[in-house]
C-alpha cells in the first residue's frame, strides 16, 4: 500500500477496493510505527481522522465525492485548524487552539479529504533544516540523524516515509521545494496569490505561499486542484479562474524551450548534485525539449535582498505575539513592559529572535533607505531578469539545493544555512511558480531539480515534471526500512 501514489489510492477508494477508514488506519499505524524516530508530526488526530474517514466513505457510497475524498492528508502546523492545536512549531503558540479554519484546510474538508495530523516545522517557518522547531528536529527518512530541509520538513519527511498520502507546505524562500529535494519527493510553490493565505500564520506576507508536497507531479496536480482559487478573505489572493491541473499532464514536451541560467551552473554546487542535474538535462533533451542558456545577472544578490525583506516583514508580523491576547505569557510579570519583554524572550527561539532583530534594524530610521529600499529595488531587477528570460524560454531549470541532506547540527553558522536556499529564493522574490522533483541519487541520498515558470503556469511545470517521471523512476523510490 505504501508504494501506491495518491492517484492510485483515489481510484482504489472510488472503486471500493479499500475504504477510507482502512486507508486512514493504515497511515495511522505507520505513524505509530515510524514517527517516534522521524518526529515529523506535532499532532496526530487519530479519532478526528477516523471520524472524517467514516464521513468520506459515506460520501463515496452516495456517489458525491471528489478525487481527494477519503485521502489521508497531513497539514503543516502553520494552517489554522478549528478546535485543533496550531503551534507553528513555536513555544509561543504551544497552547493555541485555533477558533477558525484556514481557507486551505477548509477546502480540503469540503473535498472530503481526511486530516491525519499536523506536521512539524521550523518555528514560524524560519529555517532551512527543521532544526528550529520547539518540538525538536525532524529527521530525514533517507538517513539517520540528517535534516529533511525546512521549513516544511515535517511534511516532506512524512510524505517520503509514506506516513501520509500527501501533505501541505508553505514556501517563503524555498520551504516547499528545498525539503522536497532533500527528501526525494515532489513539491510545488504556486504563483504568489494562487492559494489563499487566510488562516496561514504569517512569516513574510509578500512572499509566503502554500502548496502541495506529494510523491508525484500527478499527485501534486490533484492536490493543487483543491488548494488553488480566489478567496475574498485574502486581499492578496488573485481572482483568476483555476484550470484543471491534471488535464495537460500527458502533453508532449517536444519543442519545449528550457532555459539553464549560466549564473546557477557556475555556482557552488556539490559535484554529485551537478552530475544529476546534467543527466536530467540530457533526459529532457532526449524527450524533445530544447535546452538554451539564459542570463539571470541579478540572482547573485537575491539571497541578500531576501534576508532583508523577509526579516523586515517578520518583525512586523510577529509583533502581535505579546502575551496579551493569546499564546504564551510569562509567569508573574512585574508590569506591562516586563510581560512584553519576558514573554517574547521566553516564547521565541533563537532563529526567530535573530530575524526579528535583523528586520527591525533594516526598517529603523536611518537604515530603511540603505537596506530595505535597496532590497526592494533588487527584487524588481530579479523580476525583470525573469521577464526577459521568458521571452526566449518556456521554463527555467536549476538545481533545487546546492547539496544533498546534511547531518543535524552540522551547520552552525546562520549564513551558511541561509545559502542552502540560494536557488529557490529568486522565484519567491518575483512571485513565480516553482516545482522541485527527484532527479537522481548522490551517495544514496536524493537530489532534486527545480523548474520555474511564468506567472500562473503551474500546469506547464506539472506537465514537464510528470513527463519526466514517465521516463524515470526516481519518484518511486522509498527509503530503506520503510516498506511494510
Catalytic positions, written as ranges? 76, 151, 175
Q: Read off the C-alpha cell for 356.
A: 526579528
Triad 96, 97, 98: Cα angle to 5°: 105
Containing H/E element for 72?
Answer: strand 72-76
CA-to-CA distance for 384 and 390, rounded, in angstroms? 10
27, 53 in Cβ contact below 8 A?
A: no
Surface-to-core class of residue 336, CB atoms within 10 Å of its CB (0-12 exposed, 13-18 middle, 19+ buried): exposed
Surface-to-core class of residue 414, CB atoms within 10 Å of its CB (0-12 exposed, 13-18 middle, 19+ buried): middle
CA-to-CA distance for 302 and 117, rounded, in angstroms? 35
Q: Read off the C-alpha cell for 204.
A: 513574510
CA-to-CA distance for 176 and 298, rounded, in angstroms? 23
Bond preceding residue 163 cis, omega within 30 of 0: no
484, 2 in Cβ contact below 8 A?
A: yes
CA-to-CA distance for 182 and 178, rounded, in angstroms? 6
155, 193 in Cβ contact below 8 A?
A: no
Instruction: Tell me the residue length of the chain.
Output: 484
401, 448 in Cβ contact below 8 A?
A: yes
Surface-to-core class of residue 419, CB atoms within 10 Å of its CB (0-12 exposed, 13-18 middle, 19+ buried): middle
- Sheet strand arrangement including 445-453: 41-44, 114-119, 72-76, 166-170, 210-214, 186-189, 434-442, 445-453, 395-399, 257-261, 290-294
126, 92 in Cβ contact below 8 A?
A: no
Amino acid at each position: 500500500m505504501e508504494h501506491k501514489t495518491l492517484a492510485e489510492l483515489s481510484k482504489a477508494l472510488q472503486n471500493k477496493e479499500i475504504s477510507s477508514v482502512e486507508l486512514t488506519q493504515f497511515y495511522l499505524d505507520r505513524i505509530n510505527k515510524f514517527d517516534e524516530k522521524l518526529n515529523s508530526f506535532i499532532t496526530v488526530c487519530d479519532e478526528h481522522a477516523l471520524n472524517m474517514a467514516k464521513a468520506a466513505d459515506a460520501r463515496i457510497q452516495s456517489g458525491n465525492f471528489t478525487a481527494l475524498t477519503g485521502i489521508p492528508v497531513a497539514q503543516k502546523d502553520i494552517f489554522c485548524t478549528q478546535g485543533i492545536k496550531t503551534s507553528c512549531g513555536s513555544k509561543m503558540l504551544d497552547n493555541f487552539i485555533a477558533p477558525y479554519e484556514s481557507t486551505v484546510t477548509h477546502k480540503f474538508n469540503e473535498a472530503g479529504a481526511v486530516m491525519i495530523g499536523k506536521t512539524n516545522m521550523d518555528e514560524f517557518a524560519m529555517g532551512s533544516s527543521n532544526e528550529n522547531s520547539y518540538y525538536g528536529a525532524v529527521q530525514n527518512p533517507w538517513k539517520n540523524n540528517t535534516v529533511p530541509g525546512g521549513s516544511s520538513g515535517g511534511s516532506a519527511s512524512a510524505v517520503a516515509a509514506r506516513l501520509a498520502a500527501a501533505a501541505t507546505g508553505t514556501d517563503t524562500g524555498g520551504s516547499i521545494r528545498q525539503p522536497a529535494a532533500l527528501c526525494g519527493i515532489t513539491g510545488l510553490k504556486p504563483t504568489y496569490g494562487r492559494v489563499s493565505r487566510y488562516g496561514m500564520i504569517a512569516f513574510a506576507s509578500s512572499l509566503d505561499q502554500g502548496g502541495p508536497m506529494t510523491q508525484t507531479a500527478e499527485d501534486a496536480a490533484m492536490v493543487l486542484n483543491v488548494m488553488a482559487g480566489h478567496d475574498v478573505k485574502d486581499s492578496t489572493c488573485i481572482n483568476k479562474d483555476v484550470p484543471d491541473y491534471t488535464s495537460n499532464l500527458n502533453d508532449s514536451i517536444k519543442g519545449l524551450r528550457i532555459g539553464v541560467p549560466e549564473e546557477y551552473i557556475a555556482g557552488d554546487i556539490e559535484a554529485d548534485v551537478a552530475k544529476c542535474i546534467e543527466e536530467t538535462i540530457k533526459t529532457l533533451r532526449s524527450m524533445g525539449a530544447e535546452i538554451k542558456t539564459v542570463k539571470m545577472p541579478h540572482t547573485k544578490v537575491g539571497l541578500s535582498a531576501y534576508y532583508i525583506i523577509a526579516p523586515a516583514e517578520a518583525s512586523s508580523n510577529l509583533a502581535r505575539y505579546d502575551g496579551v491576547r493569546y499564546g504564551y505569557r510569562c509567569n508573574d510579570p512585574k508590569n506591562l513592559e516586563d510581560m512584553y519583554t519576558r514573554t517574547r524572550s521566553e516564547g521565541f527561539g533563537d532563529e526567530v529572535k535573530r530575524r526579528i532583530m535583523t528586520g527591525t534594524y533594516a526598517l529603523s530610521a536611518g537604515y530603511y533607505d540603505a537596506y530595505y529600499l535597496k532590497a526592494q529595488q533588487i527584487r524588481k531587477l530579479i523580476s525583470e531578469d525573469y521577464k526577459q528570460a521568458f521571452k526566449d524560454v518556456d521554463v527555467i531549470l536549476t538545481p533545487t539545493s546546492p547539496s544533498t541532506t546534511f547531518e543535524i547540527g552540522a551547520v552552525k553558522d546562520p549564513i551558511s544555512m541561509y545559502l542552502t536556499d540560494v536557488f529557490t529564493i529568486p522565484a519567491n522574490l518575483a512571485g513565480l511558480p516553482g516545482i522541485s522533483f527527484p532527479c537522481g541519487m548522490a551517495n544514496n541520498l536524493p537530489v532534486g531539480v527545480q523548474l520555474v515558470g511564468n506567472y500562473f503556469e503551474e500546469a506547464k511545470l506539472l506537465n514537464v515534471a510528470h513527463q519526466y517521471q514517465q521516463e524515470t523512476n526516481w519518484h518511486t523510490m522509498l527509503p530503506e526500512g520503510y516498506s511494510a
